[in-house]
A and B are shown apart, each in its own frame.
Chain A
Amino acid sequence: MAASSIQTNDREAELIQRVCNGEREAFYELVRPYERGIYFAAMGVLNNPADAEEVAQETVLKAFNALPNFRFEAKFSTWIIQIAINESRMKLRKDRRHLYESIEAEREDEEGDYRPRELADWREIPSEELQRRELRDALKQAMDSLGPKYREVLILRDVQHVNIAETAKILGITEASVKTRLLRARLQMREALAPGIDGSWVTGRDEYKKVRPWS
Protein backbone atom coordinates (compact mmCIF):
# COMPACT_ATOMS: atom_id res chain seq x y z
CA MET A 1 0.00 0.00 0.00
CA ALA A 2 1.24 3.42 -0.87
CA ALA A 3 1.84 5.70 2.06
CA SER A 4 -0.33 8.75 1.81
CA SER A 5 1.27 12.10 2.12
CA ILE A 6 -0.29 13.61 5.20
CA GLN A 7 0.36 17.22 4.46
CA THR A 8 -0.92 19.66 1.98
CA ASN A 9 1.71 20.11 -0.67
CA ASP A 10 3.78 23.26 -0.91
CA ARG A 11 2.08 24.60 -3.98
CA GLU A 12 -1.32 24.31 -2.33
CA ALA A 13 -0.06 25.80 0.89
CA GLU A 14 1.17 28.78 -1.04
CA LEU A 15 -2.14 29.18 -2.85
CA ILE A 16 -4.07 28.93 0.40
CA GLN A 17 -1.88 31.62 1.87
CA ARG A 18 -2.52 33.86 -1.10
CA VAL A 19 -6.28 33.37 -0.91
CA CYS A 20 -6.19 34.23 2.78
CA ASN A 21 -4.30 37.38 1.90
CA GLY A 22 -7.20 38.42 -0.27
CA GLU A 23 -6.11 37.12 -3.66
CA ARG A 24 -9.30 35.54 -4.87
CA GLU A 25 -7.87 34.32 -8.20
CA ALA A 26 -5.60 31.92 -6.34
CA PHE A 27 -8.67 30.11 -5.07
CA TYR A 28 -9.67 29.06 -8.57
CA GLU A 29 -6.25 27.59 -9.15
CA LEU A 30 -6.44 25.81 -5.82
CA VAL A 31 -9.84 24.23 -6.50
CA ARG A 32 -9.51 23.42 -10.20
CA PRO A 33 -7.80 20.02 -9.73
CA TYR A 34 -10.66 18.92 -7.48
CA GLU A 35 -13.67 20.29 -9.32
CA ARG A 36 -14.48 16.90 -10.82
CA GLY A 37 -13.80 15.11 -7.56
CA ILE A 38 -16.21 17.40 -5.74
CA TYR A 39 -18.91 16.63 -8.26
CA PHE A 40 -18.39 12.87 -8.13
CA ALA A 41 -18.31 12.82 -4.35
CA ALA A 42 -21.65 14.60 -4.33
CA MET A 43 -22.98 12.18 -6.95
CA GLY A 44 -21.93 9.31 -4.72
CA VAL A 45 -24.28 10.51 -2.03
CA LEU A 46 -27.05 12.10 -4.08
CA ASN A 47 -26.99 10.19 -7.36
CA ASN A 48 -28.63 13.10 -9.14
CA PRO A 49 -26.66 15.39 -11.48
CA ALA A 50 -28.61 18.58 -10.77
CA ASP A 51 -28.37 18.09 -7.01
CA ALA A 52 -24.70 17.18 -7.24
CA GLU A 53 -23.97 20.34 -9.18
CA GLU A 54 -25.85 22.47 -6.68
CA VAL A 55 -23.89 20.90 -3.85
CA ALA A 56 -20.63 21.44 -5.75
CA GLN A 57 -21.44 25.14 -5.90
CA GLU A 58 -22.21 25.25 -2.21
CA THR A 59 -19.02 23.31 -1.53
CA VAL A 60 -16.67 25.73 -3.25
CA LEU A 61 -18.34 28.71 -1.61
CA LYS A 62 -18.16 27.08 1.79
CA ALA A 63 -14.54 26.09 1.21
CA PHE A 64 -13.68 29.63 0.25
CA ASN A 65 -15.23 31.03 3.39
CA ALA A 66 -13.75 28.35 5.63
CA LEU A 67 -10.28 28.50 4.15
CA PRO A 68 -8.84 30.69 6.93
CA ASN A 69 -9.68 27.83 9.31
CA PHE A 70 -7.89 25.23 7.20
CA ARG A 71 -5.28 23.36 9.21
CA PHE A 72 -2.18 22.55 7.26
CA GLU A 73 -1.65 19.11 8.72
CA ALA A 74 -4.67 17.98 6.71
CA LYS A 75 -4.65 17.28 3.00
CA PHE A 76 -6.49 19.94 1.10
CA SER A 77 -8.04 17.32 -1.19
CA THR A 78 -9.44 15.40 1.78
CA TRP A 79 -10.72 18.58 3.36
CA ILE A 80 -12.62 19.81 0.34
CA ILE A 81 -14.07 16.41 -0.56
CA GLN A 82 -15.18 16.09 3.04
CA ILE A 83 -17.07 19.37 2.72
CA ALA A 84 -18.71 18.07 -0.45
CA ILE A 85 -19.78 14.86 1.32
CA ASN A 86 -21.14 16.73 4.33
CA GLU A 87 -23.04 19.20 2.18
CA SER A 88 -24.47 16.31 0.17
CA ARG A 89 -25.61 14.48 3.25
CA MET A 90 -27.25 17.61 4.55
CA LYS A 91 -29.04 18.08 1.28
CA LEU A 92 -30.15 14.48 1.25
CA ARG A 93 -31.62 14.87 4.70
CA LYS A 94 -33.30 18.14 3.88
CA ASP A 95 -34.75 17.23 0.50
CA ARG A 96 -35.63 13.64 0.99
CA ARG A 97 -36.72 13.37 4.53
CA HIS A 98 -39.41 10.95 3.46
CA LEU A 99 -36.78 8.61 2.08
CA TYR A 100 -34.47 8.92 4.99
CA GLU A 101 -36.01 6.10 6.95
CA SER A 102 -35.04 3.59 4.31
CA ILE A 103 -31.51 4.95 4.31
CA GLU A 104 -31.36 4.44 8.06
CA ALA A 105 -32.78 0.95 7.77
CA GLU A 106 -30.14 0.07 5.23
CA ARG A 107 -27.46 0.48 7.85
CA GLU A 108 -28.37 -2.74 9.56
CA ASP A 109 -27.37 -5.14 6.84
CA GLU A 110 -23.69 -4.35 6.85
CA GLU A 111 -22.40 -7.10 9.05
CA GLY A 112 -23.79 -10.16 7.28
CA ASP A 113 -21.76 -11.97 4.67
CA TYR A 114 -22.49 -11.22 1.08
CA ARG A 115 -22.72 -14.27 -1.12
CA PRO A 116 -21.86 -13.54 -4.73
CA ARG A 117 -24.26 -15.20 -7.09
CA GLU A 118 -23.15 -17.57 -9.78
CA LEU A 119 -23.20 -15.68 -13.05
CA ALA A 120 -22.41 -16.39 -16.62
CA ASP A 121 -18.68 -15.88 -16.90
CA TRP A 122 -17.82 -12.60 -18.57
CA ARG A 123 -15.10 -14.29 -20.52
CA GLU A 124 -17.68 -16.28 -22.41
CA ILE A 125 -19.63 -13.32 -23.67
CA PRO A 126 -19.75 -13.26 -27.46
CA SER A 127 -17.96 -10.34 -29.00
CA GLU A 128 -20.38 -8.01 -30.73
CA GLU A 129 -21.03 -4.34 -31.11
CA LEU A 130 -21.55 -2.51 -27.87
CA GLN A 131 -22.41 1.12 -28.02
CA ARG A 132 -20.65 3.21 -25.46
CA ARG A 133 -24.00 4.68 -24.63
CA GLU A 134 -25.33 1.28 -23.70
CA LEU A 135 -22.42 0.65 -21.40
CA ARG A 136 -22.86 3.99 -19.75
CA ASP A 137 -26.53 3.29 -19.14
CA ALA A 138 -25.72 -0.08 -17.66
CA LEU A 139 -23.16 1.52 -15.40
CA LYS A 140 -25.59 4.16 -14.29
CA GLN A 141 -28.23 1.57 -13.51
CA ALA A 142 -25.74 -0.44 -11.54
CA MET A 143 -24.78 2.66 -9.55
CA ASP A 144 -28.46 3.43 -8.94
CA SER A 145 -28.91 -0.01 -7.49
CA LEU A 146 -26.38 0.67 -4.73
CA GLY A 147 -27.39 2.25 -1.45
CA PRO A 148 -25.76 5.65 -0.83
CA LYS A 149 -23.29 4.37 1.74
CA TYR A 150 -21.95 1.82 -0.72
CA ARG A 151 -22.00 4.18 -3.67
CA GLU A 152 -20.04 6.88 -1.86
CA VAL A 153 -17.28 4.45 -0.93
CA LEU A 154 -17.13 3.01 -4.44
CA ILE A 155 -16.85 6.44 -6.01
CA LEU A 156 -14.11 7.60 -3.68
CA ARG A 157 -12.10 4.40 -3.91
CA ASP A 158 -12.62 3.15 -7.44
CA VAL A 159 -13.48 6.26 -9.43
CA GLN A 160 -11.32 8.80 -7.63
CA HIS A 161 -8.68 6.42 -6.29
CA VAL A 162 -8.65 7.91 -2.82
CA ASN A 163 -6.79 5.55 -0.48
CA ILE A 164 -8.50 3.66 2.34
CA ALA A 165 -7.27 5.91 5.14
CA GLU A 166 -8.34 9.10 3.40
CA THR A 167 -11.68 7.57 2.41
CA ALA A 168 -12.31 6.71 6.07
CA LYS A 169 -11.47 10.26 7.07
CA ILE A 170 -13.67 11.83 4.43
CA LEU A 171 -16.68 9.70 5.28
CA GLY A 172 -16.12 9.73 9.02
CA ILE A 173 -16.10 5.93 9.27
CA THR A 174 -13.46 3.37 10.24
CA GLU A 175 -11.06 1.84 7.75
CA ALA A 176 -12.65 -1.52 8.46
CA SER A 177 -16.03 -0.10 7.42
CA VAL A 178 -14.52 1.30 4.24
CA LYS A 179 -13.27 -2.19 3.36
CA THR A 180 -16.55 -3.90 4.23
CA ARG A 181 -18.64 -1.42 2.27
CA LEU A 182 -16.27 -1.48 -0.66
CA LEU A 183 -16.48 -5.25 -0.82
CA ARG A 184 -20.26 -5.13 -0.82
CA ALA A 185 -20.35 -2.33 -3.38
CA ARG A 186 -18.01 -4.11 -5.77
CA LEU A 187 -19.81 -7.42 -5.54
CA GLN A 188 -23.18 -5.77 -6.03
CA MET A 189 -21.85 -3.87 -9.02
CA ARG A 190 -20.58 -7.10 -10.46
CA GLU A 191 -24.01 -8.62 -10.25
CA ALA A 192 -25.77 -5.54 -11.55
CA LEU A 193 -23.40 -5.26 -14.49
CA ALA A 194 -22.93 -8.88 -15.31
CA PRO A 195 -24.22 -9.51 -18.76
CA GLY A 196 -25.59 -12.83 -19.76
CA ILE A 197 -28.23 -13.32 -17.13
CA ASP A 198 -30.79 -12.13 -19.61
CA GLY A 199 -28.36 -11.72 -22.48
CA SER A 200 -28.93 -8.01 -22.26
CA TRP A 201 -25.55 -6.77 -23.30
CA VAL A 202 -22.44 -7.78 -25.08
CA THR A 203 -18.94 -6.59 -25.66
CA GLY A 204 -17.34 -5.15 -28.78
CA ARG A 205 -15.84 -1.71 -29.16
CA ASP A 206 -12.15 -1.13 -28.70
CA GLU A 207 -12.55 1.33 -25.86
CA TYR A 208 -14.43 -1.24 -23.97
CA LYS A 209 -12.17 -4.12 -24.82
CA LYS A 210 -9.44 -2.66 -22.75
CA VAL A 211 -11.44 -3.47 -19.62
CA ARG A 212 -11.83 -7.01 -20.85
CA PRO A 213 -8.36 -8.00 -21.91
CA TRP A 214 -9.41 -11.57 -22.53
CA SER A 215 -12.05 -10.81 -25.15
Chain B
Amino acid sequence: MVIEISCLEVWREISNYIDDALDPELRARMEAHFKVCKHCSAVLDGTRNVIKLVADEAEFEVPAGYASRLYSKLNASLGKSDR
Protein backbone atom coordinates (compact mmCIF):
# COMPACT_ATOMS: atom_id res chain seq x y z
CA MET B 1 0.00 0.00 0.00
CA VAL B 2 1.64 3.20 -1.19
CA ILE B 3 0.59 6.48 0.35
CA GLU B 4 -0.04 9.19 -2.22
CA ILE B 5 2.25 12.12 -2.57
CA SER B 6 1.57 15.62 -3.91
CA CYS B 7 3.30 17.21 -6.91
CA LEU B 8 4.82 19.81 -4.60
CA GLU B 9 6.46 17.13 -2.48
CA VAL B 10 7.68 15.37 -5.60
CA TRP B 11 9.38 18.53 -6.89
CA ARG B 12 11.06 19.06 -3.56
CA GLU B 13 12.64 15.61 -3.74
CA ILE B 14 13.08 15.13 -7.46
CA SER B 15 16.78 15.89 -7.39
CA ASN B 16 17.38 13.48 -4.50
CA TYR B 17 15.28 10.91 -6.35
CA ILE B 18 17.60 11.17 -9.35
CA ASP B 19 20.64 10.91 -7.08
CA ASP B 20 19.15 7.84 -5.45
CA ALA B 21 19.37 9.56 -2.09
CA LEU B 22 15.92 8.72 -0.73
CA ASP B 23 14.61 6.11 1.61
CA PRO B 24 12.82 3.27 -0.18
CA GLU B 25 9.40 4.22 1.12
CA LEU B 26 9.50 7.76 -0.29
CA ARG B 27 11.05 6.44 -3.45
CA ALA B 28 8.17 4.04 -3.97
CA ARG B 29 5.64 6.81 -3.43
CA MET B 30 7.37 8.96 -6.01
CA GLU B 31 7.56 6.11 -8.50
CA ALA B 32 3.84 5.58 -8.14
CA HIS B 33 3.26 9.28 -8.66
CA PHE B 34 5.35 9.44 -11.83
CA LYS B 35 3.25 6.68 -13.32
CA VAL B 36 0.10 8.75 -13.10
CA CYS B 37 1.32 12.35 -13.28
CA LYS B 38 2.35 13.48 -16.72
CA HIS B 39 3.67 16.83 -15.59
CA CYS B 40 5.94 15.38 -12.91
CA SER B 41 7.27 12.68 -15.19
CA ALA B 42 8.08 15.35 -17.79
CA VAL B 43 9.91 17.34 -15.12
CA LEU B 44 11.79 14.17 -14.19
CA ASP B 45 12.79 13.41 -17.77
CA GLY B 46 13.76 16.99 -18.47
CA THR B 47 15.85 17.21 -15.32
CA ARG B 48 17.60 13.94 -16.08
CA ASN B 49 18.26 15.25 -19.54
CA VAL B 50 19.85 18.38 -18.15
CA ILE B 51 22.10 16.31 -15.92
CA LYS B 52 23.24 14.18 -18.84
CA LEU B 53 23.82 17.24 -20.93
CA VAL B 54 25.84 18.96 -18.24
CA ALA B 55 27.77 15.79 -17.49
CA ASP B 56 28.86 15.53 -21.08
CA GLU B 57 32.23 17.05 -20.46
CA ALA B 58 32.79 17.78 -24.10
CA GLU B 59 30.36 20.63 -23.71
CA PHE B 60 32.64 22.21 -21.15
CA GLU B 61 36.07 22.91 -22.38
CA VAL B 62 39.01 24.64 -20.88
CA PRO B 63 40.37 27.43 -23.09
CA ALA B 64 42.96 26.39 -25.66
CA GLY B 65 46.45 26.40 -24.17
CA TYR B 66 45.10 26.60 -20.63
CA ALA B 67 47.26 23.86 -19.14
CA SER B 68 50.51 25.06 -20.66
CA ARG B 69 49.86 28.63 -19.52
CA LEU B 70 48.98 27.32 -16.09
CA TYR B 71 52.31 25.59 -15.64
CA SER B 72 54.48 28.17 -17.34
CA LYS B 73 52.98 30.84 -15.11
CA LEU B 74 53.59 28.67 -12.08
CA ASN B 75 57.14 28.06 -13.21
CA ALA B 76 57.70 31.75 -13.65
CA SER B 77 56.31 32.55 -10.20
CA LEU B 78 58.32 29.85 -8.54
CA GLY B 79 61.41 30.73 -10.51
CA LYS B 80 61.39 34.18 -8.99
CA SER B 81 61.60 32.77 -5.51
CA ASP B 82 63.75 29.81 -6.36
CA ARG B 83 64.29 27.69 -3.34
Give the interface of A toward B (CB within 8 A). 1, 22, 24, 28, 32, 35-36, 39-40, 43, 49, 53, 56-57, 60-61, 64, 113-116, 118-119, 121-123, 135-136, 139, 154, 158-159, 161, 164, 179, 182-183, 186-187, 189-190, 193-194, 207, 210-212
Instruction: Give the tally of cross-chain contacts (CB within 8 A).
Output: 111
The one of A36, A158, A182, A190 in contact with B55, judged by C-beta atoms closer than 8 angstroms, is: A158
* A interface: dominant SS: helix
* B interface: dominant SS: helix
Q: How many residues of B contact A (CB 8 A)?
A: 40
Bound Cα distance from A22 to B78, whole angstroms: 12
Seed contacts A114-B11, A116-B11; 8 additional CB < 8 Å A-B pairs: A22-B83, A35-B67, A113-B12, A121-B46, A139-B53, A154-B54, A189-B50, A193-B49
The one of B49, B74, B78, B83 in contact with A122, judged by C-beta atoms closer than 8 angstroms, is: B49
Cβ contacts under 8 Å, A60 to chain B: 70-71, 74
Bound Cα distance from A64 to B71, whole angstroms: 12
B45 at the interface (CB under 8 A from A): yes
Using a CB-CB cutoff of 8 Å, which residues 1-22 of chain B contact chain A?
Answer: 8, 11-12, 14-16, 18-21
Interface bits B59-81 vs A (CB < 8 Å: 1, else 0): 11011001101110110011000
